[in-house]
Amino acid sequence: MKQKEKEDATVYHNTELLLKQYRDVVWSLEVSVNRINRNFYQEYGRDIEGFLELTYEAGLDLNGTEIESQTKTIARSRNMLRMIDCSVDLLRTKHKNGELYYWILYYTYLSPQEMQNIDEIVDKLRDYMKDISRSTYFRKKNEAVMQLGRVLWGYTSRECMECTCFFEKTNR
């Protein structure tokens, strides 16, 4: 049991760490894309997407160039954000408490503007859970982060094996 608790703590920690960086990554990505597009407009009269389209049509090779490096960095960041967004959406639409978990994660980590304090988050959550208190918020937040972590990182093989054994026993 201690191993499972340790694995759960790691999943929770990594997920919360990722969520805490979400707003900064979104902001940084927007600033980077804006800066790169501005530079491309000045040099080539097009944004980076238009420039890349033209280079692909012309058959130009961008391997090893600064342009390739910049586009790969942007693509990596976008993919990370998509992975988080898709995982949050899956949690929201498929988990029995998904809607509540979504709004907890949204107001705590994902909204464009960070809430001023916990009381502001709790107040916003009253639309989704009428009698929510600060302690309920923290308990539900921990559950939401853990469930999102399971979507992001998957279940451990031991947990999968336990599930498989359970279903094998019930089907006998």
Would you kindly state where each structural domain of the chain is located, as residue ranges? 2-170
Round to the nearest angstrom and report the end-to-end CA distance of the chain. 27
pLDDT > 90 fraction of the chain, expressed in percent and rounded: 45
Give the separation between CA 127 and CA 160, rounded to whole angstroms: 36
Please check the confidence at residue 83 and state whether its pLDDT lies above 80. yes
- 152 or 47, greater pLDDT: 152
pLDDT at residue number 32: 84
Residue 122 near residue 133 (C-beta atoms within 8 A): yes
Q: What is the mean pLDDT of the chain?
A: 85
Please check the confidence at residue 10 and state whether its pLDDT lies above 70. yes
Other CB atoms within a 10 A radius of the CB of residue 151 amount to: 19
Residues 99-115 have pLDDT tens digits of: 999 999 999 999 999 99
pLDDT at residue number 70: 78
Average of per-residue pLDDT across 131-151 = 95
Quick one: angle between helices 118-125 and 98-105, nearest 10?
150
pTM: 0.76
